[in-house]
Amino acid sequence: MTTAARPTITRYDSKAPTLQYSSRDLAAHTKLKFRQTGQLTKEELENIDLKEELLKAKREHFEKIQGEQLREAGAVGEN
């Protein structure tokens, strides 16, 4: 690379710093997003009984499996 590829910090004609600045020097992403209602905020999570939901889902799953096994057993018994 040549020396011309290096960035210039000050202007060479006056040797004084400029008032111009790069867009890369500006602060970016300065705002935070917060959860809205319906996105499981802390208040919503406090009102939900997660253990009960888990137990209900497990119960439904095992009932579905038992129903399928009973149907299969019934189909085997019919043959």
What residue ranges do the domains of the chain occupy? 49-79
pLDDT of residue 73: 80
Q: For residues 53-60, give the mean pLDDT.
A: 95
Alpha-carbon distance of 8 to 44, in angstroms, equals: 54
pLDDT of residue 22: 81
